[in-house]
Amino acid sequence: MKTALIIGITGQDGSYLAELLLAEGYRVHGLVRRASMFNRARIDPLRAGAPGEERLVLHYGDLNDRTSLRRMLRKVAPDEIYHLAGQSHVGLSFEIPEVTCEDNAMATLGLLEVVRDLDRPVRFYHASSSEIFGVPKAGPQTAATPVEPVNPYGCAKAFATQLCRVYRQAYGLFACSGIAYNHESPRRGENFVTRKISLSAARIRAGRQEELHLGNLDARRDWGYAPEYVQAMWRMLQAGQADDFVLATGRTCTVREFAQAAFAELGLELVFEGSGVAEVGRRTDNGRVVLRVDPRYFRPAESSALVGDPAAARERLGWAPRTVGADVARLMARADAEAG
């Protein structure tokens, strides 16, 4: 039986990955940070009497506490480590750049150092991001596209991605970065635009919300479906050779189109009435929802033209995303409406 450690197991990707690894017969350990509120809702179903429950073990820990991390890694002796933890909100990284760089860049370096010292070989996955490319001059991007981030989050991810490559080359570590484009699901955090949209659509339809504030509606993203992306993460660590891979759908849509698809799925028509300060979406009697831009959600700099080329993942990992853009919007809206 293989053993895996998931750092960031309580997040969207961590919870889907835990499900996948348990289904593959792994013993799964998860590192959880102490928090004043429990944040384990996404993995609770895996722990309460579900098949595989006895193969899921949680440990309190923190990437900044290297001694306990080292001790825990020696005890758990994982075959594979999935490093998914960190500050993942791009907009917020402008507000808290130092924490973002500590959590995403320096913590990854510390972890690589601890892994390098282990006395048995470990396969290491690092969750990198399309944000390392910033505003690329060419598309679709591949793992060879030059790195040129435009926000603190992208800088931190670029640093960590380059370090994984260095540790692979210099020390022969089986370290891989999945350069993942946006991947969403009903388990997405509520401050990412997709979930904000799907939850708002459900609540507005149920008459429990009146306003919808969104920022840049013309932002274009390469949106895929998170459960499919964790498949690629796992396949990367089963490959014959460690490498970095772009994980993307190769197609994009705008925030506006995503929102229209989500609202339409619940029988609501979104009407855009230009842009203005503090204008809000409001449900009207005839089932139309008026939405205007709220500049509070604009970012000091916006990445753009991000579209990934999944060809290498398809050819070398046999991975192909199936759920794209508006499909993701529809399934998220349905899930939030059904959840009530």
List residues near ligand G4F by CB under 6 A: 88, 90-91, 129-131, 180-182, 191-194, 196, 214-216, 219, 221, 255, 297, 299, 302
Residue with tokens 């991007």: 141
- Spatial neighbors of 244 by CB under 8 A, at least 6 apart, are 128, 143, 161, 164, 165, 176, 177, 178, 179
SS3 content of the chain, % helix, strand, coil (to 5): 40, 20, 40
Residue 3 or residue 93: which is nearer to ligand G4F going by CB?
93
Residue 28 or residue 259: which is nearer to ligand G4F going by CB?
259
Taking a C-beta distance cutoff of 8 angstroms, is the pair 182, 325 a contact?
no
Give the chain's radius of gyration (CA, Å): 20
Q: How far is the CB of 184 from ligand G4F (least distance, A)?
A: 8
SS3 label, residue 329: helix
Residue 73 or residue 306: which is nearer to ligand G4F going by CB?
306
Q: How far is the CB of 296 from ligand G4F (least distance, A)?
A: 9
Q: How far is the CB of 57 from ligand G4F (least distance, A)?
A: 27
Residue 47 or residue 299: which is nearer to ligand G4F going by CB?
299
Q: How far is the CB of 255 from ligand G4F (least distance, A)?
A: 5
Q: Tokens in use for 236?
A: 């990367």
Q: How far is the CB of 183 from ligand G4F (least distance, A)?
A: 6
Residue 6 or residue 72: which is nearer to ligand G4F going by CB?
6
Q: How far is the CB of 195 from ligand G4F (least distance, A)?
A: 8
- Spell 57-92 as b/e; 16+ CB within 10 A means b: ebbebebeeeeebeebbeebebbbbbbbbbbbebbb
Q: How far is the CB of 264 from ligand G4F (least distance, A)?
A: 18
Residue 3 or residue 88: which is nearer to ligand G4F going by CB?
88
Residue 122 or residue 184: which is nearer to ligand G4F going by CB?
184
Q: How far is the CB of 34 from ligand G4F (least distance, A)?
A: 22
Taking a C-beta distance cutoff of 8 angstroms, is the pair 307, 251 a contact?
yes
Query: What backbone torsions phi and psi does residue 20 show, to the nearest 5 degrees?
Result: -60, -45
| Strand residues in 67-173 grouped as ranges (E) | 80-83, 123-129
Residue 307: C-alpha distances to residues 160, 215, 296 (Å): 21, 20, 26
Residue 192 or residue 272: which is nearer to ligand G4F going by CB?
192
- Spell 207-236 as b/e; 16+ CB within 10 A means b: eeeeebbbbbbebbbbbbbbbbbbbbbbbb
